[in-house]
Structure 1
Amino acid sequence: MNWILSIVLIIATVGTIVSLLMLLRYRPIRGTHSVSLRHFTLLVLVYITVILSFSILYLGLELLGMEVLKEGNSHVEGTVNHLIEDIIYFSAVTLLSVGYGDLVPIGIGRFIAIVQALFGYLLPAAFVVTTFLHVTKKEE
């Protein structure tokens, strides 16, 4: 069981890295607007991939017995469905904002949440930079 979770965690990490590289290397089709619907859709898909990848990472660590989240003053408990809901919610809130404080990372979860928050701040910047670099090259 542990090796299956390890493989899933590795796949989630590789998926996140590949999604980010796709965003950085993607160029709009020539003759279209610099910010195309395809480019925006790619950004949304990258966000979804990163949210789900970090969710899988948090869930995998929880299932391995490492506590990474607490709700209020206690460890996140309940059914597996409740745990999955809480983890996806925490992952989305961490990526898209600074968090609300209702779910708090602990232990290794703090480091992972920091990395995820950095991704959340860098993704829009990467989107804008790749778009403007393409526009600048196109005008030259």
Structure 2
Amino acid sequence: MAFYFLLFLIIFIIVMSLRTLFLPSALQEKYISWQSFVYLLFIYSTLFIGFGLIYFLLMQIGLEVLIENGQKIDSRKLYELQSSLYFSGVTLFSIGYGDLSPVGYGRFIAIMEGMIGYTIPASFVVRTVIDFRKDQT
């Protein structure tokens, strides 16, 4: 029961963080600024930690979602958490070194995370252009 609650909570936080990209008043400062940079940093951090925790939670219930160099990840909890966060980071930023690979449900989650990682900069730029055009009229 706690697993499903935590999973729902993490997904809710991720969705609410992404939702701010599409709200008209998401950025008070509409152009590129330090505030915009910190805003993007917050969104990326939320996604990075959120997806990492999803991978970690799935491993805790016995699902194999990540493998390291073709073998099951060491079952020490701290190492699983580190590996989950590391994989989430390299997937979100599309680096993908290849030392950790998704398997099973992890593949679907990694694809979703990668697509979100690609669309965040584009949506931020589009949002900035739309706000700039509104200010020009």
TMscore range, shorter length: over 0.9
For normalisation by structure 1, the TM-score amounts to 0.92
Indicate the RMSD between aligned Cα atoms, in angstroms. 1.2
What's 1:27 paired with?
Answer: 27
Unaligned runs of 5+ in 1: none
Q: Does 1:95 pair with 2:92?
A: yes
Note closer, same or farther for the CA distance 1:78–1:62 as it changes in structure 2 (3 Å cut). Answer: closer
Aligned length: 135
What's 1:56 paired with?
Answer: 53
SS class of match (1:49): helix
- CA apart distance, 1:78: 3.9
Which structure 1 residue ranges, 4+ long, deviate > 4 Å from structure 2? none
SS class of match (1:70): strand
Higher RCO structure, 1 or 2 (CA under 8 Å, sep 6+) = 1
1:4 to 2, 5, 15: 2
- Give identity over the alignment, percent: 34
What's 2:127 paired with?
Answer: 130
Unaligned runs of 5+ in 2: none
- CA apart distance, 1:97: 1.3
What's 1:65 paired with?
Answer: 62
Q: Distance in 2 between matches of 1:38 and 1:93?
A: 25
8 Å contact kept, 1:55–1:88: yes
Provide Cα deviations, 1:31-70, integer angstroms capped at 9, x if missing partner: xx61222122111100000011101110111001100000
